[in-house]
């Protein structure tokens, strides 16, 4: 009687019955998870890369070394738990995921230490002599930017200097020696919370100072461009010589990856219309070059019966396509997005040569892992995230049963085939746009809503018209007969720009938000990965974190006051979302920065024109009403010495005081004193003025990462000085 060996739960004491009940429930849950993982066993390897990336992301998200160490320790503990204490596929999956997370966090931490280089501590004017490492022609801005390795040991080993293009001497090329006088400063930190962090990128590139040249730049020893740099520069000059200025910038970007010649208005239109990815040499361009090389090689070799019978033409064509992809990557400067796309293309070619599936989640995971092993910091960049999100969405869509049934080729009429191909292209574009919206909103605070329709036209136009015309024109120019193709290419690029401007000008073409909380972004990205990587019905559970993340992002409050880290620029965000700037002569960079941080798309105003503000040459006073409470702002806007008694009296009457100078101790506002002393500790600030105000600072975003300028004692002191709410 086998049933007699089972525990008598009903007759046992209450604590024992409770323990037996929960043990049974836990065992059932464990068995259910084991069944799910068994059904999804083919999808488990990509999660190893997700774990590796999660460790890297955790290092960027956490702010202190002890937190990074705690993350590694917790991950290792979970790995031990999975490998030693849990049985079956559940234990192995948990163990490998946690171990990968620990390795990812440790790798990026070690990478940040290994690339450490001296940086300037404060701005200064110096004489610089050194070797040019890189030359960037910012044609749209009329400037030249040099990356220089200085000879002086008193300067950082790598600096970046810009100057007007009109004063550029002959002989500027990598390897040349230059001499100049420049005002250098440390790499600027994130200007406002959640905006672009140049200091982080400069840290991993080893750039210790940036600045502008004062006076002429002299080439003391000229070095002729060589290799791919020479070819890249020659192509740029040739294209600019044979094409009109309005379209030459796009043509240069498509061939060399250099977007600096694209005009500001055209670049803005491409971004607003969702077509800016066409200007970055990445997956689309590498795919076009590789596909063209493989197709031409295969067709040409097939003309020979001997070669067709004796050689594996697919293998040979794949090798030629790989060589073309590598050469194009080197020609365009081997930037991270291009290298990433080239690696993916090489893996696809290897799969084709071996007769395996050409594109799969495992292939994407291998490509991502290869990039992260050598450049773990790439994970924090928008380029890496958006590239892999797009291709992951494409593979996930076409791996569904519905997509395979609807878009599979079959014997049917030409019109039906055309409609089926068009529908597949539309759904692919829609999947990509939906996948990229959270990323674009997080990184750029804006996302194009009509990008699907625009890309349906723009991608085929670029891939099958513009790039072949440009390649053919360059080839025919060897014989001096490429002019007709250059004309057609210019017309095609003009059509592309016309489409971009038309879509960008359409009402409601752009969605904007002032900022997305990291928690909301994490939920949406995690839900998207869950939705894309699994194939059984459990993938639908990924919709819940996506919806919750979207709700959190939508409920995030708009800031009411923005202050840059130098104290020179501030903006009150009016009730309708319009930024009202402290200085009416703020430059384009500051205006775009404030508009981005406030989620505004339009013309900014100034405080002195607001109904609640008044300004003199020296300062502005504004009364900001939020939630039935009034906040008085006093902001300095001139470097002149102020009358003592008036300054102290105005400080006492204000809730918030902003200044780009150090204010006297007697200046005591009711809440916040944001002078140079405080802002050096906090960086830029975003304040939400409610009954219980919220303060977000650049210091909170950067923490103790090595590119930050916020010392630990200063951070503790600043947190004591920063009250949580208004008294």
Please answer whether residues 183 and 228 qualify as being in contact, where contact means their C-beta atoms are separated by less than 8 angstroms: no
For residues 483-503, give the mean pLDDT.
91
Please answer whether residues 129 and 152 qualify as being in contact, where contact means their C-beta atoms are separated by less than 8 angstroms: yes
Multiple choice CATH, 124-224, 2.40.50.140, 3.40.50.10800, 1.10.287.3510, 3.40.718.10: 2.40.50.140
Q: Is 694 exposed, middle or buried (0-12, 13-18, 19+ CB in 10 A)?
A: middle
Residue showing tokens 């600027």: 188
103-117, 201-215, 402-416: least confident range:
402-416
Report pLDDT for 714: 46
For residues 468-474, give the mean pLDDT.
87
Higher pLDDT, 369 or 10: 369
In this prediction, residue 70 has a pLDDT band, given cuts at 50, 70 and 90, of: very high
Q: In sequence order, what are the beta bridge partners of 621?
A: 614, 634
Please answer whether residues 274 and 450 qualify as being in contact, where contact means their C-beta atoms are separated by less than 8 angstroms: yes
Distance (Å) of CA 125 to CA 121, 135, 207, 210? 13, 22, 17, 11
Q: 3-state SS string over 39-73?
A: HCHHHHHHHHHHHHHHHHHHHHHCCCHHHHHHHHH
The CA distance from 422 to 365, in Å, is 28
- CA 599 from chain centre, in angstroms, equals 18
User: Is the C-alpha dihedral spanning 417, 420, 421, 422 positive or negative?
Assistant: positive
Report pLDDT for 725: 40
Report pLDDT for 14: 52
Report pLDDT for 286: 78
With a pLDDT cut of 90, the percent of the chain lying above it is 33
Average pLDDT, the chain: 84
In this prediction, residue 71 has a pLDDT band, given cuts at 50, 70 and 90, of: very high
* Closest to 447 (Cα-Cα) out of 509, 502, 503, 500: 509
The CA distance from 606 to 588, in Å, is 14
Please answer whether residues 134 and 147 qualify as being in contact, where contact means their C-beta atoms are separated by less than 8 angstroms: yes
**Other C-beta atoms within 10 Å of 421: how many?**
12
The CA distance from 485 to 479, in Å, is 13
For residue range 181-215, list pLDDT tens digits in order: 999 999 999 989 988 899 999 999 999 999 999 98
For residue range 571-590, list pLDDT tens digits in order: 999 988 889 998 888 777 88
Q: Is 165 exposed, middle or buried (0-12, 13-18, 19+ CB in 10 A)?
A: middle
The CA distance from 325 to 345, in Å, is 8
20-29, 70-79, 154-163: least confident range:
20-29
- Is residue 550's pLDDT more than 50? yes
E strand segments, 76-234: 124-138, 143-150, 159-164, 177-185, 209-213, 218-221
236-245, 258-267, 575-584: least confident range:
258-267
Q: Which two tokens stand for residue 311?
A: 């050689």
For residues 102-129, give the mean pLDDT.
93
The CA distance from 17 to 501, in Å, is 71
Report pLDDT for 720: 45
In this prediction the pTM is: 0.85
* Closest to 568 (Cα-Cα) out of 622, 636, 655: 636
Q: 3-state SS string over 447-509?
A: EECCHHHHHHHHHHHHHHHHHHHHHHHHHHCCCCCCHHHHHHHHHHHHHHHHHHHHHHHCCCC
SS3 state at 665: coil
In this prediction, residue 717 has a pLDDT band, given cuts at 50, 70 and 90, of: very low
Report pLDDT for 282: 64
b or e along 15-30 (b: 16 or more beta carbons within 10 Å of the residue's beta carbon)?
eeeeeeeeeeeeeeee
SS3 state at 279: helix
* Closest to 393 (Cα-Cα) out of 359, 349, 418: 359
Q: Where are the domains of the chain?
A: 31-114, 124-224, 518-555, 561-721
SS3 state at 571: strand
User: Is the C-alpha dihedral spanning 380, 381, 384, 390 positive or negative?
Assistant: positive
SS3 state at 345: helix
Please answer whether residues 104 and 97 qualify as being in contact, where contact means their C-beta atoms are separated by less than 8 angstroms: no
Q: In sequence order, what are the beta bridge partners of 658?
A: 635, 674
């Amino acid at each position: 009687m086998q049933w007699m060996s089972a525990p008598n739960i009903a007759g046992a004491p209450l604590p024992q019955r409770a323990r037996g009940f929960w043990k049974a429930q836990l065992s059932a849950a464990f068995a259910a998870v084991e069944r799910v993982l068994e059904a999804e066993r083919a999808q488990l390897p990509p999660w190893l890369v997700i774990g590796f990336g999660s460790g890297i992301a955790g290092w960027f998200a956490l702010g202190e070394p002890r937190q990074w160490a705690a993350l590694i320790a917790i991950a290792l503990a979970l790995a031990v738990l999975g490998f030693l204490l849990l049985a079956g596929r559940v234990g192995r999956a948990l163990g490998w995921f946690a171990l990968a997370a620990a390795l990812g966090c440790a790798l990026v931490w070690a990478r940040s230490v290994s690339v450490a280089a001296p940086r300037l501590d404060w701005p200064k004017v110096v004489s610089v002599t050194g070797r040019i490492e890189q030359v960037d022609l910012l044609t749209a801005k009329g400037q030249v930017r040099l990356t220089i390795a200085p000879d002086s040991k008193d300067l950082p080993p790598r600096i970046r200097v810009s100057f007007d293009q009109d004063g550029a001497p002959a002989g500027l090329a990598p390897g040349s020696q230059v001499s100049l006088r420049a005002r250098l400063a440390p790499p600027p930190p994130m200007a406002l919370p959640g905006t672009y962090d140049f200091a982080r990128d400069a840290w991993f590139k080893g750039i210790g100072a940036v600045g502008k040249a004062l006076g002429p730049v002299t080439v003391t020893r000229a070095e002729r461009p060589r290799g791919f740099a020479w070819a890249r520069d020659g192509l740029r000059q040739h294209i600019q010589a044979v094409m009109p200025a309005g379209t030459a910038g796009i043509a240069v970007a498509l061939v060399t990856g250099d977007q600096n010649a694209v005009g500001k208005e055209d670049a803005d239109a491409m971004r607003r219309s969702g077509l800016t990815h066409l200007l970055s040499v990445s997956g689309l361009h590498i795919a076009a070059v590789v596909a063209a090389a493989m197709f031409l090689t295969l067709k040409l070799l097939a003309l020979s019966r001997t070669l067709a019978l004796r050689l594996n033409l697919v293998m040979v064509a794949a090798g030629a396509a790989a060589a073309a992809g590598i050469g194009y990557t080197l020609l365009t400067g081997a930037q991270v997005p291009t290298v990433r796309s080239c690696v993916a293309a090489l893996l696809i070619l290897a799969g084709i040569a071996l007769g395996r599936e050409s594109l799969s989640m495992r292939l994407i995971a291998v490509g991502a892992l290869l990039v992260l092993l050598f450049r773990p910091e790439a994970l924090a960049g928008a380029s890496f995230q958006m590239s892999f999100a797009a291709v992951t969405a494409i593979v996930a869509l076409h791996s569904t049963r519905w997509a395979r049934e609807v878009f599979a080729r079959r014997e049917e009429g030409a019109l039906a085939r055309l409609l089926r191909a068009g529908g597949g292209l539309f759904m692919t574009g829609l999947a990509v746009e939906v996948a990229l919206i959270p990323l674009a909103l997080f990184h750029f605070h804006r996302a194009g809503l009509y990008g699907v329709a625009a890309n349906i036209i723009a991608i085929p136009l670029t891939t099958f018209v513009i790039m072949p015309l440009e390649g053919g024109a360059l080839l025919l120019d060897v014989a001096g007969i490429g002019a007709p193709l250059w004309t057609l290419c210019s017309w095609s690029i003009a059509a592309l720009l016309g489409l971009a401007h038309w879509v960008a000008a359409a009402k409601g073409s752009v969605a904007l938000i002032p900022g997305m909380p990291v928690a909301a972004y994490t939920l949406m990205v995690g839900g998207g990965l869950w939705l894309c990587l699994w194939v059984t019905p459990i993938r639908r559970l990924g919709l819940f974190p996506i919806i919750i993340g979207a709700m959190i992002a939508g409920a995030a409050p708009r800031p009411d006051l923005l202050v840059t880290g130098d104290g020179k620029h501030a903006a009150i965000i009016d009730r309708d979302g319009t930024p009202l700037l402290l200085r009416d002569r703020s430059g384009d960079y500051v205006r775009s920065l404030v508009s981005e941080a406030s989620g505004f798309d339009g013309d900014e105003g100034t405080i002195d024109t607001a109904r609640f503000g008044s300004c003199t040459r020296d300062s502005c006073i504004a009364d900001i009403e939020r939630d039935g409470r009034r906040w008085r702002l006093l902001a300095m806007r001139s470097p002149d010495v102020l009358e003592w008694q008036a300054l102290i009296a105005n400080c006492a009457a204000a809730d918030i005081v902003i200044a780009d100078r150090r204010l006297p101790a007697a200046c005591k506002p009711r809440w916040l004193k944001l002078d140079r002393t405080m802002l050096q500790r906090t960086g830029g600030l975003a304040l939400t003025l409610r009954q219980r105000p919220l303060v977000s600072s650049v210091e909170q975003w950067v923490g103790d990462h090595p590119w930050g300028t916020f010392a630990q004692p200063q951070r503790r002191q600043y947190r004591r000085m920063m009250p949580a709410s208004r008294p």
